[in-house]
Structure 1
Amino acid sequence: MSFWRELGFASNPYVVKPLPSSADGRELLVGRDVELRALLRRIEEGDTHIVLEGPNGVGKTSLVAVAAWVASQRFQRRETVQLYLPLPEALQIKEDASEFISDCYFAIARAFLDNEEVLKRADRKVPKTRDVKAWLEAPVLKGRGLNLTSPFGGGGLTGSAAANSSTGFSNAGFRATIRSWLREAFPEGTGGLVGVIDNLELLETSAAARRLLEEIRDPVLQLGGMRWVLCGARGIARSVATTPRLNGVLSDPIEITPVADEYIPSLIDTRLLHYSVRPTSKAPVSASSFEHVYVVTHKNLRDSLRHAQSFSQDHESEFFQSKTETEIDEAFTQWLESQAIKHEASAKMQPRTWTLLEDLATFGGTCSPSDYEQFNFNDRAHMRKNVVELERYGLVNSSRDDDDQRRRSIEITSKGWLVHYARSHGLGSPVIPGM
């Protein structure tokens, strides 16, 4: 019997990956009703693509997945004539515009294949997908003398590659086919596919993000029958949403803040109940313990779930079965403290760098390069030197965005918050006064 089954759960209740676009996802999306309604309004009633700005791990992708499912259910209940269906998975942003555009079209094709029966039941015009399916799933694609694995066999199509199959689609012909599918299945005002363009902050600079979005504006963002939701952290989504070429294409960003503390007990209890297969299931991390780690991680839901999962798997199932809830809660607190102490001890930094970490935590965990005076530095260069040292130990993430000095591009990581927890609670090395 599996570890989770032994504890009375169908599977891991602390799963970290985004929620699915399904009834299960809707049940598990706790504390997001206001944000869900706001997102649905923009999907169903707006004419620009949606931008979500919020910290990493706050749950932006889960929110979009559930919103797409709720929108599809509204159609099923005949509350609207708009049919919305999600793309199979979020698309990760890439610096190579051509490669990213191809990823988008492949994802759209896959959504049509996955939802063929749904579209038929909705009396939508369904494309003849057999030939294109064979092309997409061909094991090898050839282009410019290179052999490239099919994206549905583990790789991607780039350049002017064409399929090595009898269907003979060209890259341009494939894209034209997808555009016609969208027009025919989703005439204006009747819905569309909902896709996520995720992790804009991976492009690091606002200039790079603007350049990429402007390159994909016509081939991707102007596609009829598509509702894109762009997600970013550290202020990058807000910095690029109103550029001249994207004005009227992207909406003003919706700020997604962490789930409010009051919802956390219900959020974790809902997960435990959802995955439970018997009344006597034994939770490795209770609601009260989860509240604690949620505070320690600075309200990062993804990191909190990851810590809960790691603690669970660091012990045998017999440990949890033999302990009371109070004993398990105490063991979790000790485990979390040991993780914090270990990370704090591994960071060998100068006092001034430690001071920056503590000041940054007091500042809220994020800042921009232009905030250097608030951290008692004479200029950006001296602050940057200390930021680089924090990066070396994985305590902050940052991008040097010289084009947008106001962007909050410096952020404490999960490891950084654990180290801050150790130092602020006197768990590891003693904090020297004035540090």
Structure 2
Amino acid sequence: MTFWRELGFGSNPYVVKPLPSNADGRELLVGRSAELRALLRRIEEGDTHVVLEGPNGVGKTSLVSVAAWVAGERFRKKETTHLYLPLPEVLQIKEDASEFISDCYFAIARAFLENEETLKRADRKVPRTRDVKSWLEAPVLRGRGLNISSPFGGGGITGGTAANSSTGFSNAGFRATIRSWLRDAFPEGTGGLIGVIDNLELLETSAAARRLLEEIRDPILQLSGMRWVLCGARGIARSVAATPRLNGVLSDPIEITPVADEFIPQLIETRLQHYSVKDTSKAPVSTSSFEHVYVITHKNLRDSLRHAQSFSQDNEAAFFLVKSESEIDLAFTTWLEGQAISHEASVKMQPRTWKLLEDLADFGGTCSPSDFDQFNFNDRAHMRKNVVELERYGLVNSSKDDDDQRRRSIEITSKGWLVHYAHSQGLGMPPIPGM
């Protein structure tokens, strides 16, 4: 951390990872008051699990993390009798339902271990966790005889050894015990654990997502004492939320759009102040430069922070200490253009494919296969051919979703927006002779 210390910061102010579920996270969540209120209403007052839909990098996970802390603070301040606590990790969706279910039970068990003291202070029934903690931390259980007693109660694990794996954790005794812990600690209407199921779009098609969610409906989504928040991009969350078997289980999606431009100065200034340890701290990326990169990345906060961090660390601390703000702003603009030109130089596409990228950017950066006529293609097949070429260079992500052709499943990537910036501004074009 010497680099940031030299500039007057305790640590990296452009950290990319989601905001923590604590007071710091709440302070740093800027421009999300309306979304935070809407999410808390669904968590605290609804009886269906919450669904968030929004572009990758827009801040969905940070929003849920802070919401869980705010809900917990209300209990600590005695503003409510509902106790909410976050799971210790975000759960990434998987195609294998059995493996994903095991991941969920693992996370719930760890949540009880990590929140044991909080539950005790709240006068909630706390399970005996010492044996479970030892079991969770041991890579292999060894026992005598042909049957090993599970510390969870109920059945046992057969054989002389049992690996600490999803297979070992799938026994009925473990799951039954977790369910009883949840019921005892969070009786109906008294709160629960808040878990995040992220990246639904990784399942590629609406049909695959629907199958997975239907498989986990009873073992996971019907767990008493759990409040789940499902997050997805490229339209998949909205596509699966209203299916018949999930009706009454999942809420209508909350659309999470990018932080409004008007809040970006406050957002970055709040970060700089929060991480500053000296009045004379020197920001590598000024507020105006951050606003500039935020526009170029199509308002992707995660990508904007990543670029700010990369530029900062591509230079020595002394560079920022001796240069004026205007000089640093110019250096950042030059650096960003260099990144864009470098990416564009690696792309060799036909004019029609370039035109699709330009039109897609003008269209907002996302579209569905059924929008082919909006881009002057005769049919989906001709558009798909050009989309595949854009995918080959990493300029778009797309999901071939035959189940829902209306889903906005084609999306410009971070690299795509940089290439579009270079191409639309003519940054990589050779100078005109005599000019």
TM-score band, normalised by shorter chain: over 0.9
Residues 97-141 of structure 1: per-residue CA shift (max 9 Å, x gap): 000000000000000000000000000000001111111111136
Once the 2 structures are TM-superposed, how far is the Cα of residue 191 of structure 1 from its aligned partner? 0.2
Residues 300-359 of structure 1: per-residue CA shift (max 9 Å, x gap): 000000000000111111111110111111100110001011111110001110000000
Matched residue SS, 1:402: coil
Q: Is the contact made by 2:135 and 2:141 (CA closer than 8 Å) also made in structure 1?
A: no
Which residues of 2 match residues 257-268 of structure 1 at below 5 A?
A: 257-268=257-268
Once the 2 structures are TM-superposed, how far is the Cα of residue 379 of structure 1 from its aligned partner? 1.1
Q: Which 5+ residue runs of structure 1 have no aligned equivalent?
A: 151-155, 163-169
Residue number in structure 2 paired with 1:319: 319
Q: Which 5+ residue runs of structure 2 have no aligned equivalent?
A: 143-156
Q: Is the contact made by 1:205 and 1:403 (CA closer than 8 Å) also made in structure 2?
A: yes
Residue number in structure 1 paired with 2:135: 135
> TM-score if structure 2 supplies the norm length?
0.93
Which residues of 2 match residues 275-286 of structure 1 at below 5 A?
A: 275-286=275-286
Residue number in structure 1 paired with 2:236: 236
The letter of the residue matching 1:406 is R
Which residues of 2 match residues 355-394 of structure 1 at below 5 A?
A: 355-394=355-394
Matched residue SS, 1:51: strand
Residue number in structure 2 paired with 1:38: 38
Query: C-alpha distance in 2, partners of 1:212/1:144?
Result: 29
Q: How many residues align?
A: 417
Residues 160-187 of structure 1: per-residue CA shift (max 9 Å, x gap): x26xxxxxxx721111110000000000
The answer to whether 1:408 aligns with 2:417 is no
Residue number in structure 1 paired with 2:339: 339
Query: C-alpha distance in 1, partners of 2:177/2:138?
Result: 17
The answer to which of 229-238 and 171-180 deviates more is 171-180
Matched residue SS, 2:401: coil
Query: C-alpha distance in 1, partners of 2:318/2:158?
Result: 58
Q: Is the contact made by 1:58 and 1:302 (CA closer than 8 Å) also made in structure 2?
A: yes
Residue number in structure 1 paired with 2:26: 26
The answer to whether 1:428 aligns with 2:422 is no
Residue number in structure 1 paired with 2:153: none
The answer to whether 1:157 aligns with 2:166 is yes
Query: C-alpha distance in 2, partners of 1:354/1:197?
Result: 36
Query: C-alpha distance in 1, partners of 2:180/2:371?
Result: 49
Matched residue SS, 1:193: strand
Query: C-alpha distance in 2, partners of 1:391/1:429?
Result: 23
After superposition, the Cα gap between the structure-2 partners of 1:147 and 1:304, relative to the gap in structure 1 and judged at 3 Å, is farther
Matched residue SS, 2:411: strand
Query: C-alpha distance in 2, partners of 1:8/1:147?
Result: 54
After superposition, the Cα gap between the structure-2 partners of 1:29 and 1:214, relative to the gap in structure 1 and judged at 3 Å, is same
Once the 2 structures are TM-superposed, how far is the Cα of residue 426 of structure 1 from its aligned partner? 1.5
> TM-score if structure 1 supplies the norm length?
0.93
Residue number in structure 2 paired with 1:250: 250
Residue number in structure 1 paired with 2:221: 221
After superposition, the Cα gap between the structure-2 partners of 1:348 and 1:149, relative to the gap in structure 1 and judged at 3 Å, is farther
The letter of the residue matching 2:109 is A
Q: Is the contact made by 1:423 and 1:430 (CA closer than 8 Å) also made in structure 2?
A: no
Q: Is the contact made by 1:13 and 1:272 (CA closer than 8 Å) also made in structure 2?
A: yes
Which residues of 2 match residues 273-312 of structure 1 at below 5 A?
A: 273-312=273-312
Residues 70-112 of structure 1: per-residue CA shift (max 9 Å, x gap): 0000001111000000000110000000000000000000000
Q: Is the contact made by 1:193 and 1:226 (CA closer than 8 Å) also made in structure 2?
A: yes
Query: C-alpha distance in 2, partners of 1:210/1:311?
Result: 41
Query: C-alpha distance in 1, partners of 2:121/2:324?
Result: 52
Once the 2 structures are TM-superposed, how far is the Cα of residue 269 of structure 1 from its aligned partner? 0.4
Q: Indicate the RMSD between aligned Cα atoms, in angstroms.
A: 1.7
Query: C-alpha distance in 2, partners of 1:215/1:268?
Result: 42
Matched residue SS, 1:427: coil
Residue number in structure 2 paired with 1:111: 111
Once the 2 structures are TM-superposed, how far is the Cα of residue 407 of structure 1 from its aligned partner? 0.3
Query: C-alpha distance in 1, partners of 2:60/2:280?
Result: 33
Once the 2 structures are TM-superposed, how far is the Cα of residue 429 of structure 1 from its aligned partner? 3.1
The letter of the residue matching 2:88 is P
After superposition, the Cα gap between the structure-2 partners of 1:146 and 1:424, relative to the gap in structure 1 and judged at 3 Å, is farther
Once the 2 structures are TM-superposed, how far is the Cα of residue 430 of structure 1 from its aligned partner? 7.2
Query: C-alpha distance in 2, partners of 1:349/1:298?
Result: 22
Query: Which portions of structure 1, spanning 4 or more consecutive aligned residues, are displaced by more than 3 angstroms?
Result: 141-150
The letter of the residue matching 2:372 is Y
Query: C-alpha distance in 1, partners of 2:37/2:392?
Result: 41
Q: Is the contact made by 1:52 and 1:255 (CA closer than 8 Å) also made in structure 2?
A: yes
Query: C-alpha distance in 1, partners of 2:112/2:418?
Result: 44
Q: Is the contact made by 2:205 and 2:400 (CA closer than 8 Å) also made in structure 1?
A: yes
The letter of the residue matching 2:79 is E
Query: C-alpha distance in 1, partners of 2:294/2:264?
Result: 8
Q: Is the contact made by 2:285 and 2:328 (CA closer than 8 Å) also made in structure 1?
A: yes
Query: C-alpha distance in 1, partners of 2:321/2:158?
Result: 60
